[in-house]
Amino acid sequence: MADSDSVVSAATGTDQDDPLADLTLEQLCQFVEDTERVNEVIKTETEMFEKFLRRVEPKETTTLTQQQFTSPLPQIQEIHVVRGSRKRSKSRSSALDKLLRLTAEQKCDIAQRELEELREEIDKLKEDSERVLDNYRANLEEAEMKIQESKKAFYEFDRDICKGSINPRTNKVIAEKVLRYYEDKLRSRDTLIEKLRLKNSTLRVQKKKLQLQLKQKEEMGEVLHEVDFNQLKIENQQYLEKIDEKNQELLRLKLMAGNTLQVLNRYKKRLLNLTTESKALKTEISTRKDNLVKFDAETIIVEEERNIAEKNNKHQRQKLADFKVPEVQDYVHKKANLMELQKTVKSWERKVEIAQMALNTHKKSWKQIWVSRPQVTDWMPPDFIGQA
């Protein structure tokens, strides 16, 4: 409303010159936009006020609306005339504005009532639409039931009459079976009608009993009145508030449950990883224990070998400690004796080679003799005969 007041005050200013003449093009465009926006707000307010008047006082609505729409016309004409002559009465326009405008409290009251009316209309439309939908659902269910019944009847007729009651000799339908089929169908329909009639009679009896109970309650004063309904509405509102609180608490608990479930899943994954890791560690520990057993056995063997080596080392050290280096002269004499012995060995080896060569030549000659004279084998040496 502040924008509308500023626009109206700018439009009804009491300057001697026209205030729009000093404005630039951008300011004029902004002024026009503000005026249009204010006009839209005023239009919505007037429409809401008209609806309120039609609902509250429908007979006086036409006269009030005519007065509202005809009364500003002389004011507008007066404003144009004063602009032409540049003379305006500010007090008169402000008084008319005060008479034609509502206070903020009245506007809020009207808007609240209109909002309640809209909610009631929406509820009514919802009820009507639900009723229509229920009717459509019932019609659909009835149509589906009829379709199923017709399909079942067609299947039974095809099974019992078209296929089961054909005379194999004449390939024609037997009339007695057809009549029996229709008689059975009519009899089943009669039984169904009787069942529905009995059910309807029982429901009527129940309805009469309930009506009698309602009359008895009315006579005894146990029927609910308007005050009781108001009390029930208040209790219902309180219960609805409690239900909303419980729903909020349920949502909060659901969120907590979701968070706890996420944490639980995370811990489950961690537990699974730890279990797999523990299994791997157990296998590694078992292998390492086996290795430790092997290492213990090897250490025992190595300790024994070490003891033996230490004993040998001690024995060798004792030998080294007991060893005495011979004198130089003895070494020289020993060396000279060694050289003489090596020379004698070489000479003897040479002699043996020579003797071996002589032996080989003698063996060849003896072999030739034995080949030429076989009777000589009686006085030949046995080793020579074996070689031959």
Q: What is the DSSP string of 74-136?
A: HHHHHHHHHHHHT---HHHHHHHHHHHPPPHHHHHHHHHHHHHHHHHHHHHHHHHHHHHHHHH
DSSP one-letter code for 218: H
The pLDDT, as a whole number, for residue 317 is 87
Q: What percent of the chain has pLDDT over 90?
A: 32
Highest mean pLDDT among 89-98, 169-178, 347-356: 347-356
Q: Calculate the alpha carbon distances from 312 to 109, 298, 302, 306 in Å.
A: 120, 20, 15, 10
The pTM for the full model equals: 0.33
Residue at 74 is within a domain: yes
DSSP 154-178: HHHHIIIIIITSB-TTT--B-HHHH
- Per-residue pLDDT of 95-148, as tens digits, reads 545 556 677 787 788 888 888 888 888 988 998 999 999 999 989 998 998 899
DSSP 119-167: HHHHHHHHHHHHHHHHHHHHHHHHHHHHHHHHHHHHHHHIIIIIITSB-
Residue at 128 is within a domain: no
Domain shared by 7 and 51, yes or no: yes
Residue at 279 is within a domain: yes
Which band of pLDDT confidence, cut at 50, 70 and 90, is reported for residue 14? very low
Mean pLDDT within 169-180: 79
**Residue among 118, 124, 99 nearest 55 (CA):** 118
Domain shared by 266 and 281, yes or no: yes
Domain shared by 187 and 251, yes or no: no
Domain shared by 365 and 298, yes or no: no
Q: Could you give the 3-state DSSP secondary structure of residue 239?
A: helix
Domain shared by 157 and 82, yes or no: no
**Residue among 71, 69, 91 nearest 12 (CA):** 91
The pLDDT, as a whole number, for residue 288 is 93
Tokens 């009639």, residue? Answer: 197
Residue at 262 is within a domain: yes
Domain shared by 216 and 284, yes or no: no
Alpha-carbon distance of 69 to 46, in angstroms, equals 10
Which band of pLDDT confidence, cut at 50, 70 and 90, is reported for residue 177? confident
Which band of pLDDT confidence, cut at 50, 70 and 90, is reported for residue 275? very high
Domain shared by 360 and 315, yes or no: no
Alpha-carbon distance of 45 to 1, in angstroms, equals 11
Which band of pLDDT confidence, cut at 50, 70 and 90, is reported for residue 6? very low
Domain boundary among 181, 204, 225: 225
Domain shared by 244 and 199, yes or no: no
Domain shared by 91 and 11, yes or no: yes
Q: Could you give the 3-state DSSP secondary structure of residue 17?
A: coil
DSSP one-letter code for 221: T
Residue at 388 is within a domain: no
Of the ranges 47-61, 256-270, 315-329, which one carries the lowest mean pLDDT score?
47-61
Domain shared by 139 and 208, yes or no: yes
The pLDDT, as a whole number, for residue 295 is 92
Residue at 245 is within a domain: yes
The residue among 94 and 214 whose pLDDT is bigger is 214
Other Cβ atoms closer than 10 A to 51: 16
Residue at 107 is within a domain: no
Domain shared by 204 and 236, yes or no: no
The pLDDT, as a whole number, for residue 74 is 38
Q: Could you give the 3-state DSSP secondary structure of residue 319?
A: helix
Domain boundary among 324, 349, 369: 324
pLDDT at 7 exceeding the cut of 80? no
pLDDT at 85 exceeding the cut of 70? no
Into how many domains does the chain fold? 4
Alpha-carbon distance of 48 to 116, in angstroms, equals 13
Which band of pLDDT confidence, cut at 50, 70 and 90, is reported for residue 382? low
Of the ranges 121-125, 226-230, 356-360, which one carries the lowest mean pLDDT score?
226-230
Domain shared by 59 and 96, yes or no: yes
Domain boundary among 225, 254, 287: 225
Give the domain range for residue 310: 226-324
The pLDDT, as a whole number, for residue 297 is 93
The dihedral through the CA atoms of 57, 63, 69, 73 has a sign that is negative
Residue type, 109: D
